[in-house]
């Protein structure tokens, strides 16, 4: 399955209309319901830009329309803090006074943000917000959000592993002798490295291999 690179979900290698994307959306909605929030978002981490991008929002179609693809710098707010610390973070609005009677910020009433981690690497953040007046999230909500973020990370991780196995199965890695197998393995490893680290060059790589085939005089399939 090829991910649509115009969607932030492409950073996960997940296509926007795939069953994995549907499962992530289902999980996000379940997290929001379990926490008792109004809206939830899934943001993916873009390591090159070192920022977060909104990949999906549940609970409000208008919010999703506005936020989808929008970028959030790492140093921004509670979501950025969860990403930077790799810790679940819970937040509330800012007030002018200790008694919290005069509101200063226009943030939601309650926010919880949990990092999605695979092998201790940040891949995204799940957030849930509540606009209910006086509502506050606590340890219980933090725990729930943390669990759902872990589940979401496992879904992405499993999908990436299956995709890697699928691509491996496509290569004829069984040759006629050990020497041929070793060369095929080298080609396989190199291609995987290119796919992982320089996916933008695949078009050129494909053209180079096609040219090589033609030069060798073998007919193209």
Residues 95-114 that bind another protein (CB under 8 A): 95-98, 100, 104-105, 114
Residue 100 or 189 having the CB closest to another protein: 100
Residue 43, judged by CB atoms within 10 A of its CB (0-12, 13-18, 19+), counts as buried
Token pair in block for residue 56: 């999906």
Q: Give φ, ψ of 83 to 5 degrees.
A: -70, -40
**Count of all residues that appear for the chain in the document:** 221
Number of residues that bind another protein (CB under 8 A): 41
Letters for 123-142 (x = contact with another protein by CB under 8 A, - = none) are -------------xxxx--x
Q: Where does 80-216 show beta strands of DSSP type E?
A: 89-91, 110-118, 121-130
Q: Which residues of 139-161 are buried (b: 16+ CB within 10 A; e: fewer)?
A: eebbebbbebbebbbebbbebbe
- Per-residue binding letters, 3-32, with another protein (x by CB under 8 A): ------------------------------
To 5 degrees, how large is the angle CA 76–CA 50–CA 205?
155
The CA-based dihedral angle spanning residues 204, 209, 212, 214, taken in that order and rounded to the nearest 10 degrees: -100
Residues in region 154-213 near another protein by CB under 8 A: none
92 touches another protein (CB under 8 A) = yes
Nearer to another protein, 87 or 213 (CB): 87
Among the listed residues 43, 55, 122, 152, the single contact to another protein using CB under 8 A: 122
Binding mask 40-79 for another protein (x = CB under 8 A): -----x-x--x----------------------xxx-x--
C-beta atoms surrounding 111 within 10 Å: 23
Instruction: Please state the closest distance from residue 52 (CB atom) to another protein, in A.
Output: 10
148 scored as a contact of another protein (CB under 8 A) = no
Residue ranges that bind another protein, judged by CB under 8 A: 45, 47, 50, 73-75, 77, 80-81, 83-98, 100, 104-105, 114, 117, 120, 122, 136-139, 142-143, 146-147, 150
């Amino acid at each position: 399955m090829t991910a649509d690179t115009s969607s932030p979900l492409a950073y996960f290698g997940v296509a926007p209309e795939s069953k994995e994307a549907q499962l992530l959306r289902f999980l996000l909605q379940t997290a929001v319901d379990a926490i008792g929030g109004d809206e939830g978002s899934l943001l993916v981490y873009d390591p090159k830009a070192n920022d977060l991008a909104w990949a999906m929002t549940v609970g409000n179609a208008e919010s999703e329309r506005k936020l989808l693809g929008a970028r959030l710098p790492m140093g921004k707010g509670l979501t950025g803090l969860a990403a930077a610390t790799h810790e679940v973070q819970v937040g509330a609005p800012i007030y002018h006074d200790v008694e919290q009677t005069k509101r200063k910020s226009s943030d939601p009433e309650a926010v919880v943000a949990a990092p999605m981690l695979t092998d201790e690497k940040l891949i995204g953040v799940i957030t849930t917000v509540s606009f209910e007046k006086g509502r506050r999230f606590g340890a219980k909500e933090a725990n729930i959000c943390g669990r759902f973020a872990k589940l979401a990370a496992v879904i992405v991780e499993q999908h990436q592993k299956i995709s890697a196995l699928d691509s491996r199965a496509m290569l004829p890695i069984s040759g006629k002798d050990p020497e041929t197998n070793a060369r095929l393995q080298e080609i396989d490893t190199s291609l995987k490295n290119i796919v992982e680290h320089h996916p933008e060059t695949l078009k050129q790589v494909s053209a180079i291999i096609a040219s090589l085939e033609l030069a060798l005089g073998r007919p193209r399939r």
